[in-house]
């Protein structure tokens, strides 16, 4: 899982769930997200995410 590192966001991208708002299907690895994918809560780019245990 990957967590957004922007202050006050904390969105966690879970590959098992995908991103319904961004039309990312369940089972999509973070590494396979499009380069222009954005956090559905705050709009941060992929570079603002850090891998977390989970």
pLDDT digits (tens, 9 = 90+) for 17-54: 999 999 999 999 999 999 999 999 999 999 999 999 76
Nearest to 8 by CA among 43, 46, 52: 43
pLDDT in tens, 4-18: 999 889 999 999 999
Range of the domain at 46: 1-54
Output the domain CATH number for residue 39.
2.20.28.10
- Count how many domains the chain has: 1
What are the Cα distances from residue 32, in Å, to 17, 29, 43? 14, 5, 18
CB-CB neighbours of 39 under 10 Å: 23
Confidence at residue 30, expressed as pLDDT on a 0 to 100 scale: 97
């Amino acid at each position: 899982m990957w967590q957004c590192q922007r202050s006050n966001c904390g969105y966690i991208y879970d590959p098992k769930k995908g991103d319904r708002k961004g039309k990312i299907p369940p089972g999509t690895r973070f590494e396979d997200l499009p380069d222009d994918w954005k956090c559905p809560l705050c709009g941060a780019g992929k570079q603002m995410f850090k891998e977390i245990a989970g």
